[in-house]
Amino acid sequence: MARREIFPMTLADRPPASLRLSLDKPALVANWRALDKMSGSAQTGAAIKADAYGLGVEHVLPSLREAGCKHFFVAHWAEVPTVLEHVPAAMVSVLHGIANEADAAFARASGAIPVINSVKQASTWQQSGGGRCHLMVDTGINRLGISPDQAGAEVISGLEVDLLMSHLACADEDVPQNSQQLHAFCEVSEVIAHRQLSLANSAGIALGQDFAFDLTRPGLALYGGIPRPELEGIIRQVAYPEAAVLQIRELQPGDTVGYNARFTAEKPMRVATVSIGYADGFLRARGAACALQHEGHDLPVMGQVSMDMIVVDCSANANLKEGDFLSVLFDLPRESQRSGLSQYELLTTIGSRFEIRS
């Protein structure tokens, strides 16, 4: 039998995506500039971990760089190569630090700056040759970082610490722990030699100048999240997802919709199957009492969300047809309150199937 030759399709041959996301880059830049202004004399960096919180490093980072951002934070070493396509390694910091010799070797090869999180990590970094690094001190979140009582350890004092950091646990709330962590951070900064200090995330910036120090590290608020009331009316929505109608059908009384037949039609209905599901961040928690929108009409979600699809009631919109795009509500604080998902979850579960437009 003759071997069948396979001719791979080129990117130009791909059909239009049935999921698209409009990225408002001017809003993204406006958010960074607003946070930069609130940071006072401190520089303002950007957390771009998790592929810029799901919106794509290649779409987000160049806009922030052109706006003036000079410090970018990722979590994993695997995230570094993509970031280095856009900025020099000296601008990139890796929050998870040096877990082993392979991490240390990659740090040296890439030039990205490790955030040291433990005495063991400090030892691994020093044994690999040492040099510029950042240091995380845990002041109350009990996540990553050395404890304050380890600040005087010989291996810590031997580090070349550029940025001494900590992370606020409850900055989105008005609780005593914020001032307690601030006090603990100030105390430990007297013990560890450093060039700069950094404590505030998005919510921390809103706590005021006492928390800003030399560098702030916003993440969520850059992308439209509002963790504190002080940011309302300042932070703008950045992401606008849309999903295409795959099929329109007519239901009769008694017909059921979706897995487990959670919806039963009580009257004749016109419904649309839409190309979005929990593989695209539209989790089942978002489906309940939710509606998509088209030409000013609300199209309520019916039944269970599927992996790749939802069904909406389009009886009120006689003009809707297959191939039309519906708007997916993505006002982060409002959708978070409605669904019970955090604003972080809404962003970072978006998935990779959206065609991002700006």
* CB neighbour list of residue 45: distance below 8 Å, 6 or more residues apart: 69, 70, 71, 72, 73, 198, 215, 216, 217, 218
Q: How far apart are CA 290 and CA 310, in angstroms?
A: 11
SS (H, E, C) 63-122: HHHHHCCCCEEECCHHHHHHHHCCCCHHHEEECCCCCCHHHHHHHHHHCCEEEECCHHHH
Is 37 labeled as catalytic in the residue annotation? Answer: no
Q: Residue 95, exposed/middle/buried by CB under 10 A (0-12, 13-18, 19+)?
A: buried
| Contact indicator for 205, 235 with CB cutoff of 8 Å | no
25, 37, 49, 120: which one is catalytic? 49
Is 240 labeled as catalytic in the residue annotation? Answer: no
Residue 357 phi/psi, 5-degree rounding, is -120, 150
DSSP 196: E
* CB neighbour list of residue 287: distance below 8 Å, 6 or more residues apart: 301, 304, 305, 310
Token pair belonging to 6: 């396979």
Q: How far apart are CA 139 and CA 127, in angstroms?
A: 27
Token pair belonging to 175: 């609780």
The DSSP bridge partners found for residue 293 are 298, 327
Taking the CA atoms of 98, 101, 105 and 106 in sequence, report the sign of the dihedral they define.
Answer: negative
Q: Percent helix, strand and coil across the chain, each rounded to 5?
A: 35, 20, 45
Q: How far apart are CA 163 and CA 156, in angstroms?
A: 13
53, 70, 223, 259: which one is catalytic? 259
* Of 255, 200, 196, nearest in space to 35 by CA: 200
Show which residues are catalytic: 49, 259
